[in-house]
Structure 1
Amino acid sequence: MLTGKQKRHLRALAHHLNPIFQVGKGGVNDNLIKQVDETLELRELIKVSILNNCGEDKNEVAKAIAEGSGAEVVQIIGSTIVLYKESQEHKTIELPK
């Protein structure tokens, strides 16, 4: 579980990132979760964009992706989700205590 201070730090790092994945009318599926998990292992911090034609609620989408990939939801702002997962082999982000 991330503390408020850690989330603030991650939000600052994510500010300049562009969304890598888009969730559309297909919603969240196993393939998307697998790709998000692999990308999080390499980058640790990513953004996911939710398109207008996605029929699911953005909070449900964030929860499904986070649970499926083992990530933490850092922020949901507008139609963009920021996800963080500590990498096992490619650790680059140092979280404040």
Structure 2
Amino acid sequence: MLQLSSIERRELRARAHGLNPVVSIAENGLTDAVLREIDICLKAHELIKIRVYGDSRDDREAYLAQICEQLDAAAVQHIGKLLVVYRPGPVDATAAVHGAKTAKNRRSGPRRTKRSFQG
């Protein structure tokens, strides 16, 4: 299970505020298919919200613990029937090197246009 510092957790909660739930856990509970879908969403987005349709708080806490344990993720927040889960994506060393090179070459200011002189 991934551990987060309180500062990281606070920043992730702020990032998750505007997100919509991408996975729902319904009456069948946390099935293998739901876990696979959560894994796919974590690979794509890193930070996701999960809606749990059930009235038992104990069930929701158990789902959150099981998700984090099985998918090597971190629990960011459990508020009401929403669970917020984070798992950092894989770091590709070649992409990081190429990304740094292209970032240096990019212009940060507005594009200049050629001026025509009348004389």
TM range (shorter): 0.7 to 0.9
Q: Deviations over 1:56-90 (max 9, x none)?
A: 61100111112121111100000100000000158
- CA RMSD, Structure 1 to Structure 2 (Å): 1.9
Q: Judge conservation of contact 1:23–1:54 (CA < 8 Å) in 2.
A: no
Structure 2 unaligned runs (5+)? 93-119
Moved over 4 A (4+): 53-56
Q: CA deviation at 1:16?
A: 0.1
- Identity %, equivalent residues: 31
Pairing 1:6–2:1 present: no
Q: Judge conservation of contact 2:22–2:48 (CA < 8 Å) in 1.
A: yes
Q: TM-score, normalised by structure 1?
A: 0.84
Residues 65-84 of structure 1 aligned to structure 2 (within 5 Å):
65-84=67-86
Q: Computing the radius of gyration over CA atoms, which structure comes out larger, 1 or 2?
A: 2
Tell me, in whole angstroms, the C-alpha distance in 2 between the residues paired with 1:83 and 1:11.
Answer: 10
Residues 14-29 of structure 1 aligned to structure 2 (within 5 Å):
14-29=16-31
Higher helix share: 2
Aligned residues: 90
Q: CA deviation at 1:33?
A: 0.9
Q: TM-score, normalised by structure 2?
A: 0.69
Q: Which has the higher contact order (CA 8 A, sep 6+)?
A: 1
